Structure 1
Amino acid sequence: MSIKKLFPLAIGLDVRGRTHTGCIVNGVRFHVQRRDELRKSQYCGIVVAGYHENQEIDIYGIIVDILELEYVEENRVLLFKCKWFDLRKKTGMRKDNNFTSICVKRFWYEHDSFVLAT
């Protein structure tokens, strides 16, 4: 990584961050949960690859906030604040052929709720 790219990170964040109710990342639309509640099409669901107890798993959740962090020279980073569904017990997730069912009443990783939108 060049010095030109590291310099804005070294200076730090601009104090004027923004929140959004939706965004498009790499051609995929994402919305926060409160925007999708009364709509037919919903885009607040998210799945990311992660680790739990040293095992790689898919972690499912919903986006509750979209934060845009701004650095100098117009460098921006999008973070999704998510509520992750608890998949630890057998009742947390069930796979039937190509369909995955998730119990949406229990959550986990409440103190590790952010994921980088890439």
Structure 2
Amino acid sequence: MFALAQGPDSQAHTLHRCHINNWLFRTADIEKSLVTQNSGVLVKGDGTSGNMNWYGVIKRMISLEFPGQKEVILFQCDWFDVPAATTKAEDTIRINLGYKDEPYISAAQAELVFYVNLVNKPGWSSVIALKPRDLFAMSELELEDSIDVGVEGINLLGGQQDLTNWTRSDKEGTTGDVSVITQVQAQVVDEPDDAVFDVDDEDDVDDTYIDDGVVAPVASAVQGQDNDFFI
């Protein structure tokens, strides 16, 4: 507000394009050789204007510089005649221009639209509203009360607890002969210790080796395509 109160610089700059509120705006003059349209603007009315929307085309972009490196961009527009209240203002507009005494708006007020000429209604155009880039209309979700999800305490059996607690009471158990278990335990042979094995010193020399350093050929039990691969 302090920068605005000091007033803009005595010199203003004109622009051909600018990005405002995630929209790309261009002047109508440079779009004559382009196939895209970024010069249409919509300014939504308020209660003082009867909530009437204003549709126009950008003719000039003026950049005003204020102290403190502040900048305000104005759009100079040609405005279309707004249809009567009996028609849908957001659908169609008349091409006749009007409101030439109020051409300027703040760029922050503008929304991007483009116009399509109606074939069945000469002199009228259809208005297509555009959404800003990188802006998605997310559906509103009802906030639910947060629910704490936890795990109930589990009673674990201690090491000293009697294992008979695991016995099922809903099924009738079966009995077995204890002598069978005793007989199996008697047949268990203890594994020998690694240190018990004797090593024969005479077995250290492999019969397939000779003293001149030549390795004797080893006969392969598998004959086939693998033998052709090795030399």
**1:87 equivalent in alignment to 2:82:** yes
Q: Distance in 1 between matches of 2:39 and 2:57?
A: 5
Q: Identity, % of aligned pairs?
A: 26
Structure 1: stretches of 5+ with no match in the other structure = none
Q: Distance in 1 between matches of 2:70 and 2:36?
A: 31
RMSD over aligned Cα, in angstroms? 2.3
TM-score (structure 2 length as normaliser): 0.42
Aligned residue in 1 for 2:107: 117
Structure 2: stretches of 5+ with no match in the other structure = 109-231
Q: Give the counterpart of 2:56 among 47, 50, 61.
A: 61
Question: How many correspondences in the alignment?
Answer: 107
Larger radius of gyration: 2
TM-score (structure 1 length as normaliser): 0.79
The alpha carbon displacement at 1:53 in A equals 8.1
Of structures 1 and 2, the one scoring higher in RCO (CA 8 A, sep 6+) is 1
Q: Distance in 2 between matches of 1:77 and 1:29?
A: 16
Aligned residue in 2 for 1:100: 91
Report SS of the residue matched to 1:76. Answer: strand
Report SS of the residue matched to 2:54. Answer: strand
Query: 1:1-21: CA deviations, max 9, x gaps?
Result: xxxx41x22221111210001
Q: Distance in 2 between matches of 1:65 and 1:56?
A: 26
Q: Give the counterpart of 1:76 among 62, 71, 77.
A: 71
Q: Distance in 2 between matches of 1:51 and 1:87?
A: 15
Bigger fraction of residues in strand: 1
